Amino acid sequence: MNKITPTRANVVVLKQMLNLIPRGMINRHALETGVEAKARSFSVVSHLSAMLFAQLSHTIGLNDVCDWLRLKSGVLARFGVTPPSRNGLSNANKERSAEFAEKLFWSVLGHLQHASPDFAAGRKGKGLLRRFKVRIHAVDSTVIQLAANCMDWAKHRRRKAAAKMHLRLDLHSFLPSFAIVDTAGQHDNKRAREICATILSGEIVVFDKAYVDFDHLLDLDQRDVWWVTRAKENMKFRVVKNHPKGHENIIKDQIIALQGRHKGMKLRRVEAWVEVDEEWRAMVFMTNNMEWSPRSVCDLYRRRWDIEVFFKQVKQSLKLGSFLGHSANAVRWQVYTALLVYVLLRFMAHLTGWGHSFTRLFAVTRSALWERIDLMALLKSYGTASGRFKVIGALNTAWLPGFAPIQTVGRQ
């Protein structure tokens, strides 16, 4: 077993993470969003520190955050942070615009990507990511359950309340490139245009059929953006041309023309055998690319599962299961600080060559939060096994059911 000898540092691990966020960036966004004007005895830096601590420590409520920070007031005072009172933190989450947390998140992400171009470029990958030289984006949403009896703004169905995060994930870097946090009542396809607005010509976007809006798909096609999605069961079309199947798992490979309101719009339709819960089923995929092999279309949709791995990492590791406030503003504060912590941890993993899971990375950081240990040195030396593992997720074993690489399976 490798013996870990922690390298001493002048400041605790929490401060080392805060140092990754430029202080000038915090001050600039505080002025832009008007948050600075509402900061009296409880500064913006102290507020941000408290919210990052809540994420990293998995605190169970406002009292837990405030009591813990009060006990560490001597440590916090050394780097200019004031422990909040319960009412002070609650009021800050409610009254200080969450636009500050949102802007800070995107600015920090851009800053870290600029500081380390390899972090921005992400993994070169094998197979699909190497085969396609352009960026591939996955679009999806995740529902965040809330307490229905105290969150009228987020009513979702009869006895439930929920927020929803719509996200666009860069599959090369495994980092968010666009996010919206809103109530769960609005259908996904209403947000499709907004999420895909900044995708560049020649790039690829993959999403499930909840985001299918043919007007939007036509707009993407006119912008020369390639897309892959699932077909809806009630889609009306006529077959224009049948292509050779080319693989035993491919049932049909067709060029189709839509009927009805979008009559004449031409698409590619690929129907393939997919194993789901140990049972073979036929699934239908759509794309606006007429040249890819049908296997490539299936492979691209399979990579949509990567965004599910991202949601799993964020929701299971960070504090998104319970909230420190009931207002829409407080929920957005917590979601964007969770994303901020995720990016900071991923950046440190990149710099140190961390070779284990994201969950273990989070656990090591949390356990050392109040220690004067050089976190970077700790992560470089941590662990008993060599080689790279799954900081991005065990994608080779985490396919969407039935989307294991086609060459390894055959229809029974």
Return the pLDDT at 320. 80
* Residue 392 falls in which region: left (phi positive, over 0), alpha (psi -120 to 50) or beta: alpha
Rounded CA separation 200/178 (Å): 13
Return the pLDDT at 19. 94
Please give the CATH topology (third level) of the domain spanning 134-308: Transposase Inhibitor Protein From Tn5; Chain A, domain 1 (3.90.350)
- Residues with Cβ within 8 Å of 180's Cβ and at least 6 positions away in sequence, in order, are 165, 166, 167, 191, 194, 195
Return the pLDDT at 391. 53
Return the pLDDT at 315. 85
Return the pLDDT at 402. 45
* pTM of the predicted model as reported, rounded to 2 decimal places: 0.85
Give the relative orientation of helices 99-115 and 328-352 as an angle to the nearest 10 degrees. 10
Q: Which residue has the tokens 């035993």?
A: 248
- Report whether pLDDT(386) > 70: no
> Which tokens sit at 103?
């802007």
Mean pLDDT within 56-80 = 91
pLDDT in tens, 118-130: 998 876 655 666 7
Band of the pLDDT at 169, cuts 50, 70, 90?
A: very high
Band of the pLDDT at 160, cuts 50, 70, 90?
A: low
pLDDT in tens, 225-278: 999 999 988 889 999 998 887 777 889 999 999 998 888 899 999 999 877 777
Q: Where are the domains of the chain?
A: 13-101+327-381, 134-308
> Which tokens sit at 40?
């009296």
Band of the pLDDT at 100, cuts 50, 70, 90?
A: very high
DSSP 149-213: GG-GGGEETTTEEEEEEEEEEETTTTEEEEEEEEETTS-GGGGHHHHHTTPPTT-EEEE-GGG--
Rounded CA separation 383/217 (Å): 47
Band of the pLDDT at 51, cuts 50, 70, 90?
A: very high
Q: How many Cα atoms occupy the beta-carbon half-sphere of 285 within 13 Å?
A: 29
Rounded CA separation 287/277 (Å): 26
pLDDT in tens, 265-320: 999 999 998 777 778 888 899 999 999 989 889 889 888 888 988 998 888 888 88
Q: How many Cα atoms occupy the beta-carbon half-sphere of 338 within 13 Å?
A: 27
Band of the pLDDT at 189, cuts 50, 70, 90?
A: confident
Band of the pLDDT at 99, cuts 50, 70, 90?
A: very high
Mean pLDDT within 329-335 = 90
